[in-house]
């Protein structure tokens, strides 16, 4: 893909939540408790994202938990009871934070740059997990594109996010471990920060992020090092 235009230092930073900030690994024991193989976690989450994005393309997407329940039954058994489904999905509220999250959030706090959690999952669930992980206090807010019945990454998602925080797209950064999320933000005119922790490298097919690094705190440091002056 072609390189993106140069960016200026962001005045606000949005963080994807699940996988970027919170470890899905915390759900694995819940699959095992149902007598299911551990690898079903990855298949379940991939199907969840795929289904949510597909329904977004069709018009509107149901709430994250509704899609998650359907994809859990598709992955781990159509005969799962409601209680068994809840035993897995409730785990989203208790996911631990990645080791680099607190330092990343702290760098922004110390620089006077507000940070927000921005998910297509439940905002309340994400906020509860971040609170339990001891990092929610470093965020200005946690919100979700569930408010507009959409999963990431259509342009309207990032337009909504910028309007939601009262910001300016060109001075708002999106940080994620999912290259498709960063790509969507870049296409909408935001600053892109890609953490390579999950995918290992910037894929060739996506718009080039303004900053990429292995750890979340290094991504933030790179964003803060962008020039503050330049063309609007």
Given a contact cutoff of 8 angstroms between Cβ atoms, the answer to whether 212 and 193 are in contact is yes
Are residue 65 and residue 150 in the same domain, yes or no?
A: no
* Percent of the chain clearing pLDDT 70 (strictly above): 97
Same domain, 31 and 116: no
Is 176 among the domain residues?
A: yes
The β-bridge partners of 175 are 15, 193
Please tell me whether residues 63 and 140 are part of one structural domain: no
pLDDT of residue 6: 82
Query: Half-sphere exposure of residue 46, counting CA atoms within 13 Å on the CB side?
Result: 6
- As a whole number, mean pLDDT of residues 135-147 equals 97
In a domain, 5, yes or no: no
Q: How confident is the model at residue 230, as a pLDDT?
A: 60
Judge if 118 and 209 occupy the same domain. Answer: yes
Stretch 120-143: mean pLDDT, rounded? 96
Mean pLDDT value across the chain:
95
**Helix (H/G/I), strand (E/B), else coil: 118:** strand
Q: Is residue 123 part of a domain?
A: yes
Q: Could you tell me the pLDDT band of residue 1, with boundaries at 50, 70 and 90?
A: low
Q: By residue range, what is the domain housing residue 108?
A: 12-22+95-224
| Cβ atoms of residues 146 and 121 within 8 Å | yes
Report the alpha-carbon distance of residue 30 to residue 39 in Å, rounded: 12
Considering the domain architecture, whether residues 168 and 104 belong to the same structural domain is answered as yes
Q: Flag whether 2 is in a domain.
A: no
pTM to 2 decimals?
0.94
Alpha helices in the chain (DSSP H): 28-33, 40-58, 64-76, 82-89, 101-111, 123-132, 155-165, 179-187, 216-224
Q: Among the three residues 46, 66, 94, which one is the final residue of a domain in this structure?
A: 94
Distance separating alpha carbons of residues 159 and 179, to the nearest angstrom: 18
Q: What is the C-alpha R_g of the chain?
A: 17
List the single range of 1-15, 121-135, 158-172, 192-206 with lowest mean pLDDT. 1-15
Q: In total, how many domains does the chain have?
A: 2
Same domain? 18 vs 104:
yes
Asked if residue 58 and residue 77 are part of one domain, the reply reads: yes
């Amino acid at each position: 893909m072609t390189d993106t235009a140069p960016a200026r230092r962001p005045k606000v930073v949005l963080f994807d939540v699940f996988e970027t900030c919170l470890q899905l690994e915390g759900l694995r024991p819940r699959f095992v408790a149902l007598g299911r193989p551990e690898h079903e976690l990855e298949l379940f989450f991939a199907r969840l994202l795929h289904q949510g994005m597909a329904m977004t393309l069709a018009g509107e997407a149901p709430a994250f938990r509704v899609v998650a329940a359907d994809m859990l039954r598709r992955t781990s058994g159509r005969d799962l009871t409601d209680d068994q489904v809840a035993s897995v999905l409730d785990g989203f509220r208790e996911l631990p934070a990645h080791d680099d999250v607190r330092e990343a959030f702290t760098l922004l706090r110390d620089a006077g740059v507000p940070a927000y959690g921005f998910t297509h999952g439940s905002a309340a669930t994400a906020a509860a997990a971040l609170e339990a992980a001891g990092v929610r206090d470093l965020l200005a807010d946690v919100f979700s594109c569930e408010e507009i019945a959409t999963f990431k990454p259509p342009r309207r998602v990032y337009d909504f996010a910028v309007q939601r925080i009262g910001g300016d797209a060109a001075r708002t950064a999106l940080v994620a471990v999912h290259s498709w999320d960063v790509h969507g933000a870049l296409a909408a005119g935001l600053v892109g920060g890609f953490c390579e922790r999950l995918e290992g490298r910037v894929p060739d097919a996506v718009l080039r992020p303004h900053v990429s690094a292995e750890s979340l705190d290094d991504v933030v440091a790179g964003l803060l090092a962008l020039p503050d002056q330049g063309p609007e």
